[in-house]
C-alpha cells in the first residue's frame, strides 16, 4: 500500500473499506467522497450526488424468469394465469413502484442533486464510491441489499417504501413520505431529523477448509470443478479473516438444506442427499461471551442485531398466546393453584415475553437463537437464546453456509470457526424522520 493510501486509510478509520478496495487509487477515490459526506453530516442532509437503488418488481421477476423461454407478453399473461396469478395485478403494482421511483428522482433533481438510478441487480461498489448518499427505493429487502455494500459510517442510507399499501418497510421512512418526498427532503436539508445509527455484525473466519469468498445467493451454481478449485485455493487460514460484509439484520448459520437459502456452489443436486436427519439438523459448537463450548444440533443458528430483533429472529423466538396459556395452565395445576386464567392475563404475559425479545438498533449487543433445538442425551438446549457481545461458532456441518441478511453466503463446514462481534465503526447511518 502506498504512503498516501495509508494516510487516507488513517483518515478513514475504516478497515472494511481496505478489504473491498486494495488499490490506493480506490482509497483516494473514497477519501474524497468522504470529505463531502463528513462535512455534510454536520449541516444536515445535503448530498451532491445521490444513488437511487430500485427493487425488482414481481412483474419484472416473472418476465425475466421466463426470458430464456423467449415468451411473448401474451405467453407470460397465459403462464401467470395458469399459475393463478393476475398479470394485470402484477403490472399495476409494477407501475405504482415505477411512479414512486420517478417521484423520488424528480424531487431530488429539483433540489439540484445529481441522481443515478440503479437497478438492484446493477448495484455495485462503484455506485457506492460515487454517491454521497444512497436511497433504497423498494422494501426492506432492497434496503438490506443497499446497506450490505456500504462500509463508511458517514455515508447516509435512506429507505423509501415504494409499495406502502402492500409491505411494511420497517427500515424505510414513514410511508406517507413515499407520496410526499419533497417534504421529507426539505426536513432532511433543514436538519429537522435525527440520525439513526444501526449497529451491524462483523464476521471473522478461521480454521481449515475455509473459503472466504462471498457467494451472491442470486448467482447460478458454480460447477463442481470451480467448487473444487475454490477449495484448492482456500485451504487453511492461520489468523482470523474479516469477511467483507456486515450484517444489518442477522447472520444465519445452518446446513444448506435447513437454511432458508441453499449454498449453490456446494449442493450436489445430481446426487442422493445424506440421510434426512443430517440434512435437516445442523451440528455445531457454540461459545457465548468466551464461555465454555456447547454442542448443539438444531435447524440452524441465528444471531441478530437490534434492527434484526424485530425481523426473523423475533418470529423464531416469540410465543403465541396458545403456548403461553398452556404453560400457565400446566404451571397452575402443578403448583396446585386455583386462579382463573383470564384472556387479559394471557395477553399481558405473551406481550411482556415477546417484548423482551426486541431491543434498539443502536445497541451494541446481539441476540443468538438456536432454532428448533434437538434435545437428547448428547445435545443440551439449556440456553436456547440470549444476549451476547461475542459469539464463537465451530462448524461440525458438512454442507453448511453462513448467510448474511439472507443475501450473501459463505461456506461454513467442519473445521471452520466463526467469531461474531459488533464494532462501532461498522454502524450504518440512517435517518429518523417524524411521521
Q: In terms of CB distance, is 101 or 113 closer to its own copies?
A: 101
Q: What is the dihedral of CA 332, 335, 336, 339, to 10 degrees?
A: -40
Q: How many CB atoms lie within 10 A of CB 4?
A: 13
- Closest approach of Cβ 218 to its own copies, in Å? 5
- Closest approach of Cβ 375 to its own copies, in Å? 7
Residue 74 binds to its own copies (criterion: CB under 8 A):
no
Angle, nearest 10°, between helix axes 343-355 and 321-335? Answer: 110
Residue 231 binds to its own copies (criterion: CB under 8 A):
yes
Q: Residue from 102, 352, 389, 432 that binds its own copies (CB under 8 A)? A: 352
Phi/psi at 39 (5° precision) = -60, -40
Strand duo 250-255 + 282-288: pairing = unpaired
Residue 175 binds to its own copies (criterion: CB under 8 A):
no
CA–CA gap between residue 347 and residue 344 (Å, rounded): 5
Residue 385: which residues within 8 A CB-CB, separation 6 or more? 317, 367, 368, 369, 370
CA–CA gap between residue 227 and residue 43 (Å, rounded): 49
Residue 358: DSSP 8-state: -
Residue 327 binds to its own copies (criterion: CB under 8 A):
yes
Q: Total residues at the site for its own copies (CB under 8 A)?
A: 107
* Part in contact with its own copies (CB under 8 A); list of ranges 103-111, 184-192, 238-246, 333-341: 333-341
Q: In terms of CB distance, is 352 or 424 closer to its own copies?
A: 352
Residues from 83 through 102 that contact its own copies (CB under 8 A)? 83-85
Q: In terms of CB distance, is 18 or 148 closer to its own copies?
A: 148
Q: In terms of CB distance, is 43 or 65 closer to its own copies?
A: 65
* Part in contact with its own copies (CB under 8 A); list of ranges 3-11, 28-36, 146-154, 373-381: 373-381
Residues from 233 through 262 that contact its own copies (CB under 8 A)? 234-236, 257-258, 260-262
Angle, nearest 10°, between helix axes 87-110 and 58-65? Answer: 120
Residue whose entry in the numeric block shows the C-alpha cell 406502502: 164
Reading the block at residue 289, the C-alpha cell is 461471551
CA–CA gap between residue 97 and residue 90 (Å, rounded): 11
For 421, the 3-state DSSP assignment is strand
Q: Residue from 92, 183, 289, 326 that binds its own copies (CB under 8 A)? A: 326
Residue 387 binds to its own copies (criterion: CB under 8 A):
no
Which strands form 215-216's sheet, in the order they lie side by side?
215-216, 408-411, 400-404, 250-255, 301-304, 366-370, 385-388
Residue 264 binds to its own copies (criterion: CB under 8 A):
yes
Residue 32 binds to its own copies (criterion: CB under 8 A):
no
Q: Residue from 22, 176, 194, 348 that binds its own copies (CB under 8 A)? A: 348
Residue 356 binds to its own copies (criterion: CB under 8 A):
yes
Residues 187-216 as x/- pattern, contact with its own copies by CB under 8 A: --------------------xxx-------
Amino acid at each position: 500500500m502506498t504512503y498516501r493510501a495509508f494516510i487516507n486509510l488513517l483518515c478513514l478509520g475504516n478497515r472494511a473499506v481496505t478489504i473491498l478496495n486494495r488499490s490506493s487509487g480506490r482509497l483516494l477515490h473514497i477519501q474524497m467522497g468522504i470529505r463531502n459526506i463528513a462535512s455534510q453530516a454536520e449541516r444536515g442532509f445535503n448530498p451532491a450526488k445521490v444513488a437511487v437503488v430500485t427493487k425488482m418488481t414481481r412483474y419484472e421477476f416473472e418476465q425475466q424468469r421466463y426470458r430464456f423461454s423467449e415468451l411473448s407478453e401474451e405467453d407470460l399473461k397465459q403462464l401467470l394465469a395458469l399459475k393463478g396469478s393476475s398479470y394485470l395485478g402484477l403490472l399495476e403494482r409494477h407501475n405504482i413502484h415505477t411512479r414512486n421511483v420517478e417521484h423520488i428522482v424528480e424531487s431530488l433533481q429539483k433540489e439540484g442533486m445529481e441522481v443515478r438510478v440503479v437497478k438492484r441487480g446493477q448495484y455495485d461498489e462503484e455506485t457506492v464510491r460515487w454517491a454521497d448518499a444512497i436511497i433504497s427505493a423498494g422494501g426492506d429487502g432492497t434496503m438490506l441489499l443497499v446497506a450490505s455494500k456500504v462500509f463508511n459510517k458517514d455515508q447516509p442510507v435512506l429507505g423509501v417504501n415504494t409499495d406502502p399499501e402492500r409491505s411494511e418497510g420497517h427500515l424505510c421512512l414513514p410511508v406517507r413520505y413515499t407520496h410526499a418526498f419533497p417534504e421529507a427532503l426539505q426536513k432532511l436539508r433543514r436538519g429537522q431529523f435525527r440520525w439513526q445509527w444501526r449497529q451491524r455484525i462483523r464476521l471473522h473466519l478461521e480454521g481449515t477448509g475455509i473459503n472466504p469468498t462471498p457467494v451472491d445467493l442470486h448467482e447460478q451454481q458454480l460447477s463442481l470443478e470451480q467448487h473444487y478449485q475454490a477449495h484448492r485455493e482456500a485451504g487453511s487460514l492461520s489468523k482470523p479473516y474479516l469477511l467483507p460484509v456486515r450484517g444489518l439484520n442477522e447472520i444465519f448459520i445452518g446446513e444448506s438444506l435447513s437454511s432458508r437459502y441453499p449454498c449453490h456452489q456446494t449442493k450436489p443436486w445430481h446426487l442422493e442427499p445424506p440421510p434426512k436427519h443430517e440434512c435437516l439438523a445442523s451440528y455445531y459448537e457454540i461459545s457465548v461471551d468466551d464461555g465454555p463450548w456447547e454442542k448443539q444440533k438444531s435447524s440452524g443458528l441465528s444471531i441478530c442485531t437490534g434492527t434484526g430483533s424485530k425481523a426473523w429472529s423475533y418470529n423464531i423466538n416469540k410465543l403465541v398466546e396458545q403456548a403461553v396459556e398452556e404453560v400457565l395452565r400446566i404451571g397452575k395445576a402443578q403448583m396446585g393453584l386455583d386462579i382463573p386464567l383470564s384472556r387479559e392475563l394471557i395477553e399481558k404475559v405473551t406481550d411482556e415475553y415477546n417484548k423482551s425479545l426486541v431491543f434498539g438498533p443502536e445497541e451494541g449487543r446481539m441476540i443468538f437463537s438456536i432454532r428448533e433445538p434437538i434435545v437428547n442425551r448428547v445435545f443440551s438446549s439449556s440456553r436456547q437464546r440470549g444476549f451476547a457481545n461475542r459469539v464463537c461458532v465451530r462448524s461440525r456441518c458438512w454442507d453448511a453456509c453462513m448467510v448474511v441478511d439472507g443475501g450473501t453466503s459463505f461456506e461454513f463446514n467442519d473445521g471452520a470457526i466463526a467469531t461474531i462481534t459488533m464494532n462501532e465503526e461498522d454502524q450504518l447511518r440512517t435517518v429518523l424522520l417524524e411521521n
